[in-house]
Chain A
Amino acid sequence: MHRETIIWLGLMLATVVSTYAVDGALGQALPTLETAILTSTLLIAFVKIRFVAYEFMEIRTAPLFLRLATDVWIIATCGALLLLAPGTYSI
């Protein structure tokens, strides 16, 4: 199986888990874990994004500055959304 196919299957699986297990079933069963569910959902989304960038956009083999810029964007955007979203991290 080609590398991009394995990555694609992993991304599809992560989407199913994030949508129906973490945000869906867990969110309904344990609403008190709202912040943990919000954090997990966002983290899964940005881990998926890193895979799309590194594997499909070929950042993995790009020059260092492009790899750094990608990681900075991912961490800064995910961090900003976590800090701004309603919940225990709110600023």
Chain B
Amino acid sequence: MANEDTLEGTSIADTANTRIPGGGDIWVLIGGDFIVFTLIFTTYTYYWQLDPAVFYKSSTLLVTDIGFANTLLLLTGSWLVATAMRYFRSGQLERAGLFMGLASLTGVVFLANKAVEWTHLFAAGNSVNSNDYFMFFFMLTGIHGLHVVIGTGVLIYFYSRLSNSTAVTPSHQALEGGALFWHLVDILWIVLFALLYLIS
């Protein structure tokens, strides 16, 4: 049976096409999340087709720059986590911790942006009851925001463990699982940004 520790310092290419990233269990969560979000994305698009004028008018009330900034933040967060994993595999734990910490900051700033956006929308009189567009907007960005909160918390935990030389280092599989979840959050936002801010 392969010991997790033997993966540290091993290049990904050495285990090409045989190893499931993060182990099999995390993919039940990730696969389930992808399926649920696909159902919500398609339901949103179906309702958009039924009333494109209201969806267009409502989407113009959003500030594209905020969605754009949040997209760049999550892409940067994904890159920082991928870099952290490279450092971890090469045994540079403190540097891996630093990059996990920086990635968690992208989650914090994302949530701050989202709070500002929601506050402005509520202040302008929009709510989940306004119309179908805003019902979907607040529901989708709310569920996604919850994912960002969880992912950010996991990254902060990794940062605290990897930066403290006396703390127990998380396993390679645990780190990969957390990293995969963070990339899932990024992927879901890429779809949300295109659907809610750009094409509607």
Contact = CB atoms under 8 A, between A and B. Distances in A.
Interface of A: 2, 4-5, 7-8, 11-12, 15, 18-20, 23-24, 37-38, 41-42, 44-45, 48-49, 52-53, 55-59, 61-64, 66, 69, 73, 76-77, 80-81, 84-86, 90
Contacts of A81: 41-42, 45, 195
Q: Is the interface of B mostly helix, strand, loop or mixed?
A: helix
A61 B48 CA distance: 38
B17 A4 contact: no
A58 B183 CA distance: 10
B12 A56 contact: no
Interface in B1-52: 12-13, 15-21, 27, 31, 34, 38, 41-42, 45-46, 48-49, 52
A5 B186 CA distance: 16
Interface residues of B, number: 45
Contacts of B183: 52-53, 56-57
Contacts of B199: 23, 37-38, 41-42, 85
Interface of B: 12-13, 15-21, 27, 31, 34, 38, 41-42, 45-46, 48-49, 52, 64, 68, 71-72, 75-76, 78-79, 81-83, 86, 179-180, 183-184, 186-187, 190-191, 193-195, 198-199
